[in-house]
């Protein structure tokens, strides 16, 4: 499709295919023929079993097909629909029909959103058997200089973010006519929509409940050196759980990807301009976390006052207001606004970054102090009776629910509170890791990559070791697998609670001295054993191999002081730098009985790949509510009888 050569409003000349005017921001809604609006070109009986695979073409006028069953196949009584095909170029405003397969195994189901950057589809991942969201960048952007390079760079960076309040990026699709992000599918509404439901101003307790997790997530991203650049209520998704709304931040890095393209001055940016920091408008070469803090200050102003501090239909005037004008004090728009809260908002909106709040941690602490103490406490965790005790996952793992509550952590037996989570019953196996590599093509390229899976011969698992824990994997390798599986690496506290139970035991099975019936240690087996080989060594929650066999990577940075004196509520050490060492727990077949204690810990740099180091994964209940289970067939709840049988294996 070719858009009008001149804007339908201001008559300025536009580049071919422009969806928005680069001068006035008007969307170009020029009429299209039926042939232009649809991407279906030919009529073929569905029984011919042809589905499109969007791959680079030697001859763009042709379409490749695979001889696999179409998804879905209509019955003979249904109206026959021709199979989907891609036009030469995906047109802005065009909609790919349901059933289109891209990236070889992502089946598009329906369009769920559109903006100046691209179109968002709900899709089904046939390998992982889960719903995903796929954001396809508009075809106009594909011709912009440097867009593919920035897309790959920023996309890889986004995929390293793994936080329960950040929408996960699972995969990147880069093909001749496609740039797309494959992301976690979040069923819910945006913060913008939620604000409208409240008539413009949120109760203070609601503001606290929604913004505190967002600030926690942004603090972690900033600690990793990642700036969002486009924080606004439209990019904060609210996922419904049993008793509350759970915020998730979306679209990390997209503003950086399109930086310098014609779309950075289009009407699609008008909403972004309402939250843009002065230093972004001045086009400084380098931004830091304070740009995001300014955007969060605008958001907090809006949640309290019901409107943004600067409003104009002209994007240039709006941007100049951020640079030159002082905001109207929000107390003029909400009489009961606490003084401390107003002071916090105005400090977040200071024009000069050096005079602004310096971190999201400080922002959070000030916000919690400013909200009136008469407000009700935050909504508790989802009712655990609604959560299945055991989950069977599409990657072949089985996950066990570890309930929320206190446990005794460390040699000093500090009382620590953790929210509920699911943890793999066994470490990830060679077989599971091979599937991950086959599907994603994952291969590390760091300086230590020669040791990657060095126990495999010519890329093949040693005979008889399919169910042994995978080893010779770095922290980065383990996290890549977890991200692909829609999971994460466990925090050190999560790992210890799962191994130790609620009574502070010395070993996962109790106080009895270790022996060959309970764990693989002391080089007695001269290597790893198949996972689940020691029934007498299970933890109180029915998890295997929490002592011996292989050490396991955790998500936390290794800091003994943090372990001894850190927070008592969901502790998670993510202060990372180039010299960081990450926590290993559980002991291994190479170490003596001392390593099997539930408090034993050590750390290695993340690039290490060792013959006795593997990992297991965690998943959060907010991803497993009723709507998620329906959307993700890969999550299968085991029966209560199976869960009971597993728990009966534990020994005290």
Lowest mean pLDDT among 199-203, 261-265, 314-318, 333-337: 261-265
* Segments forming the whole domain that contains residue 265: 188-370
Region of poorest pLDDT, from 128-142, 335-349, 357-371, 600-614: 128-142
pLDDT tens, position by position, 457-491: 988 999 999 999 999 999 999 999 999 999 999 99
> Rounded to whole angstroms, how far apart are CA atoms 190 and 233?
7
pLDDT of residue 12 exceeding 60, the answer is yes
* C-alpha–C-alpha distance, residues 599 and 652, integer Å: 17
* Phi, psi angle pair for 208, to nearest 5°: -60, -45
DSSP letter assigned to residue 83: P
CATH no. for residue 163? Answer: 3.30.200.20
The pLDDT of residue 195: 86
* Residues 43, 82 within the same domain: yes
In a domain, 134, yes or no: yes
Greater confidence, 115 or 268? 115
pLDDT of residue 117: 72
- In tens, the pLDDT along 166-191 reads 999 999 888 777 888 899 999 888 99
Q: Are residues 61 and 153 in the same domain?
A: yes
The residue assigned the tokens 């599907």 is 439
In tens, the pLDDT along 623-634 reads 554 333 333 333
Q: What does the pLDDT read at residue 420?
A: 92
Residue 204 and residue 136 in one domain: no
What pLDDT does 337 receive?
A: 93
Instruction: Note whether 338 and 304 are same-domain residues.
Output: yes
Picking from 370, 405, 440, the residue at the C-terminal end of a domain is 370
**pLDDT reading at 30 higher than 70:** no
pLDDT at 494: 97
Number of domains in the chain: 3
Would the pLDDT of 1 be above 60? no
230 tagged catalytic: yes
Using CA atoms, how far apart are residues 64 and 51, in angstroms rounded to an integer?
Answer: 9
Q: How confident is the model at residue 88 (pLDDT cuts 50, 70, 90)?
A: very low
pLDDT of residue 643: 33
Give the chain's mean pLDDT.
79
Name the one residue in this structure whose structure tokens are 């709900």.
122
Q: What is the per-residue pLDDT across 489-532, written as a single tens digit (0 to 9) for each?
A: 999 999 999 999 999 999 999 999 999 999 999 988 889 999 99
Q: What is the pLDDT of residue 260?
A: 52
Same domain, 341 and 197: yes
Report the CATH number at residue 437: 3.90.1580.10
Residue 435: the pLDDT is: 96
Considering the domain boundaries, does residue 30 fall inside one?
A: no
Q: How confident is the model at residue 395 (pLDDT cuts 50, 70, 90)?
A: confident
pLDDT (tens digit per residue) in 143-168: 666 777 777 777 788 888 889 999 99
pLDDT for 470: 98
The contacts of residue 445 (CB under 8 Å, 6+ apart) are none
Q: What per-residue confidence (pLDDT) applies to 287?
A: 84
574 in any annotated domain? yes
Residue 508 included in any domain: yes
3-class SS at 560? helix
Whether the predicted pLDDT of 113 surpasses 90: no
Tell me the pLDDT tens digit for each residue of 571-581.
888 665 555 89
3-class DSSP string for 25-46: CCECCCCCCHHHHCCCCCCCCH
Supply the pLDDT for residue 52: 31
Query: Sign (positive/negative) of CA torsion 565, 567, 568, 571?
Result: negative
Interval 108-115 mean pLDDT:
88
Instruction: Tell whether 326 is covered by a domain.
Output: yes
Q: Does residue 5 sit within a domain?
A: no
> Which conformational region is residue 502 in: left (phi greater than 0), alpha (psi within -120 to 50 degrees), or beta?
alpha
Q: In this structure, are 325 and 350 located in the same domain? A: yes
Length of the chain: 652
Q: DSSP 3-state assignment of 317?
A: helix
- Residue 428 shares a structural domain with residue 567: yes
pLDDT in tens, 189-219: 899 988 887 767 888 888 998 999 999 999 9
Mean pLDDT on 291-316: 93
Q: What is the pLDDT of residue 65?
A: 27
Domain's final residue, options 149, 184, 219: 184
- 8 Å CB contact between 321 and 343: no
Range with the lowest mean pLDDT among 25-34, 101-110, 402-411? 25-34
For residues 438 and 323, membership in a common domain is answered with no
pLDDT value for 15: 59
pTM over 0.85: no
Residue 324 structure tokens = 């030159």
Q: Is the pLDDT of residue 59 over 90?
A: no
Among the candidates 154, 184, 214, a domain finishes at: 184
Q: What is the CATH number of the domain that holds 281?
A: 1.10.510.10
Q: Which residues contact 81 (CB under 8 A, 6 or more apart)?
A: 40, 46, 74, 97, 99
Of 125, 230, 545, 556, the catalytic one is: 230
Same domain, 153 and 246: no
Residue with tokens 């890329």: 459
Asked, for residue 121, whether it belongs to a domain, the answer is: yes
In this structure, the answer to whether residues 403 and 526 fall within a common structural domain is yes
- Same domain membership, residue 429 and residue 297: no
Residue 1 resides in a domain: no
pLDDT tops 90 at residue 326: yes
Instruction: For the chain, give the percent of residues with pLDDT over 90.
Output: 53
Do residues 295 and 250 both lie within one domain? yes
CA dihedral 600, 602, 606, 612 (to 10 degrees): -70
Q: What is the pLDDT of residue 159?
A: 84
More confident site: 265 or 285? 285
């Amino acid at each position: 499709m070719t858009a009008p050569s001149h804007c339908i409003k201001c008559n300025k000349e536009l580049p071919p295919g422009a969806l928005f005017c680069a001068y006035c921001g008007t969307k170009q809604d020029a009429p299209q023929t039926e042939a232009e609006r649809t991407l279906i070109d030919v009529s073929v009986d569905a029984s011919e079993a042809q589905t499109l695979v969007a791959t680079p073409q030697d001859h763009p006028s042709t379409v490749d097909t695979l001889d696999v069953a179409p998804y879905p196949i209509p019955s003979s009584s249904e109206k026959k629909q021709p199979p989907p095909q891609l036009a030469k170029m995906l047109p802005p405003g065009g909609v790919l029909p349901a059933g289109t397969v891209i990236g070889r195994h992502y089946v598009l189901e329906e369009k769920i959103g559109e903006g100046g950057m691209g179109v968002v589809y709900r899709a089904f991942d046939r390998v992982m058997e889960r719903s995903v969201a796929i954001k396809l960048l508009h075809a106009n952007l594909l011709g912009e200089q440097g867009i593919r390079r920035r897309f790959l760079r920023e996309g890889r960076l986004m995929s390293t973010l793994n936080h329960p309040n950040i929408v996960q990026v699972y995969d990147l699709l880069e093909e001749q006519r496609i740039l797309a992000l494959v992301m976690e599918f979040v069923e819910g509404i945006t913060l913008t929509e939620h604000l409208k439901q409240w008539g413009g101003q949120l109760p203070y307790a609601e503001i606290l409940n929604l913004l505190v997790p967002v600030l926690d997530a942004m603090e972690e991203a900033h600690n990793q050196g990642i700036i969002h650049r486009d924080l606004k209520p439209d990019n904060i998704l609210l996922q419904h759980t049993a008793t509350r709304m759970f915020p998730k931040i979306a679209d990390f890095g997209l503003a950086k990807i399109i930086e310098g393209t014609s779309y950075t001055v289009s009407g699609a940016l008008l909403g972004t301009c309402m939250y843009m920091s002065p230093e972004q408008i001045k086009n400084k070469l380098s931004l830091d976390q304070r740009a995001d803090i300014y955007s969060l200050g605008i958001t907090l102003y809006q949640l309290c006052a019901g409107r943004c501090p600067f409003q104009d239909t002209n994007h240039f005037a709006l941007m100049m207001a951020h640079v030159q004008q002082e905001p109207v004090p929000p107390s003029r728009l909400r009489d009961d606004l606490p003084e401390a809260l107003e002071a916090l908002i105005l400090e977040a909106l200071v024009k000069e970054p050096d005079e602004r709040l310096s971190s999201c941690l400080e922002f959070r602490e000030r916000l919690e102090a400013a909200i009136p103490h008469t407000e009700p406490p935050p909504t508790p965790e989802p009712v655990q009776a609604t959560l299945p005790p055991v989950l069977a996952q599409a990657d072949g793992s089985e996950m066990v629910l570890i309930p929320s509550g206190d446990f005794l952590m460390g040699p000093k037996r500090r009382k620590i509170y953790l929210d509920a989570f699911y943890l793999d019953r066994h470490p990830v196996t060679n077989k599971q890791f091979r599937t991950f590599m086959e599907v994603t093509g994952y291969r590390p390229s760091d300086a230590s990559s020669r040791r990657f899976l060095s126990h495999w011969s010519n890329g093949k698992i040693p005979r008889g070791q399919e169910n042994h824990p995978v080893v010779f994997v770095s922290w980065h390798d383990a996290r890549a697998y977890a991200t692909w599986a829609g999971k994460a690496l466990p925090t050190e506290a999560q790992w210890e609670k799962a191994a130790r139970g609620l009574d502070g035991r010395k070993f996962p099975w109790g106080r009895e001295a270790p022996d060959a019936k309970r764990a693989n240690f002391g080089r007695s087996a001269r290597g790893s054993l198949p996972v689940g080989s020691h029934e007498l060594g299970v933890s109180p929650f029915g998890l295997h191999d929490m002592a011996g066999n292989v050490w396991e990577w955790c998500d936390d940075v290794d800091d003994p002081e943090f372990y001894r004196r850190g927070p008592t509520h969901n502790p998670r050490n993510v202060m990372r730098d180039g010299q960081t060492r990450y926590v290993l727990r559980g002991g291994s077949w190479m170490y003596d009985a001392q390593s099997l204690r539930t408090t034993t810990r050590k750390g290695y740099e993340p690039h290490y790949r060792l013959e006795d180091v593997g990992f297991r994964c965690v998943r959060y209940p907010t991803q497993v509510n009723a709507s998620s289970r329906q959307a993700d067939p890969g999550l299968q709840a085991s029966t209560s009888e199976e869960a009971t049988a597993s728990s009966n294996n534990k020994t005290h």
